[in-house]
Amino acid sequence: MNLKGTSAIVTGGASGLGGATAEALAKEGVKVAIWDLQDDKGHAHAEKIGGAFFKVDVTSEESVGEALKGALAAHGAPSILVNCAGIATGEKTVGKNGPHNLDNFKRTVGVNLFGTFNCIRLVAAEMEKNDPQADGERGVIVNTASVAAFDGQIGQAAYSASKAAVAGMTLPIARDLMSIGVRVNTIAPGIFMTPMMAGMDPKIQEALAAMVPFPKRLGGPEEFASMAIEICRNAYMNGETIRLDGAIRMQPR
């Protein structure tokens, strides 16, 4: 895809992996709409990159619909959707306080899986209206899974289930959308230096970095963004889930 002059939506784009991706897209000449629940950070980052911010609950059809109207009015029909909105929870199936709280499980799957699919289905319907580029391409969607989809650790049943489902629906959605010229791919990041990670004790950060075979460090959000940009550019990349993890394979704990 030729990126310059296109329009993109980045969920969870106020900070972290989504924030880095929104900034990288803007540097490529893409008009970026940030969808996030973080008002202050969202507005500030949108101003920084010359984009637009919309407060969005990705699990709500109404909220996504309203934000999509705003993005269409600001930048026209999107050619790119990057789904980075998500939450991480930790709770054992049976722990000291008894069985896993079912509402916590539902909330994790709701945001990470249902929220991702909600954005895909509504944004893809607008992508269909775009004039095709080379190969008939009208849009590209990049989702975020996790290495936990494949190597879930103790206490990650809900998180792993939600991210495995994102990886699992990548190919069928790519097949669903092939007739309208929209590609779908997923990145499964390993341990990255996100705002949540930055708040941890440096010793914990060092221990996590030591688990990575090579390079022995945490991933940078700009490296996630670089992969997202390449997926957008490379028209032959479709229906794939890509691990971006320094070859890490997570241990049980």
Q: pLDDT per residue over 5-59, tens digit each?
A: 999 999 999 999 999 999 999 999 999 999 999 999 999 999 999 999 999 999 9
81 - beta bridge partners?
Answer: 9, 141
The arithmetic mean of pLDDT across residues 85-94, rounded, is 94
String of b and e for 133-158 (b: at least 16 CB within 10 Å)? eeeebbbbbbbbbbbbbbbbeebbbb
- Counting Cα atoms < 13 Å in the Cβ hemisphere of 195 gives 11
Res 208: pLDDT? 85
Res 253: pLDDT? 84
State how far the alpha carbon of 136 is from the alpha carbons of 160, 183, 234, 238, in Å. Answer: 35, 11, 14, 14
Residues 94-127: tens digit of each pLDDT? 999 999 999 999 999 999 999 999 999 999 999 9
Res 90: pLDDT? 92
10 - beta bridge partners?
Answer: 34, 82
Q: How confident is residue 194, by pLDDT bands cut at 50, 70 and 90? A: confident
Res 204: pLDDT? 80
Res 200: pLDDT? 76
Mean pLDDT, the chain, whole residue set: 96
Q: How confident is residue 187, by pLDDT bands cut at 50, 70 and 90? A: very high
Q: How confident is residue 246, by pLDDT bands cut at 50, 70 and 90? A: very high
Q: How far apart are the C-alpha atoms of 102 and 115, rounded to whole Å? A: 18
CB atoms within 10 A of CB 99: 10
Task: Let me know: does 10 contact 21? Beta carbons within 8 Å.
Answer: yes
- DSSP code at position 132: P
Res 62: pLDDT? 98
For residue 207, pLDDT over 80 is answered with: yes
Residue 91 tokens read as 């709770």
Q: How confident is residue 235, by pLDDT bands cut at 50, 70 and 90? A: very high
Residue 52 tokens read as 């637009």
Res 201: pLDDT? 83
Residues 120-165: tens digit of each pLDDT? 999 999 999 999 999 999 999 999 999 999 999 999 999 999 999 9
Q: Which class does domain 7-192+220-244 fall in?
A: alpha beta
The catalytic residues are 159
Q: Which helix (H) or strand (E) element contains residue 122?
A: helix 115-127
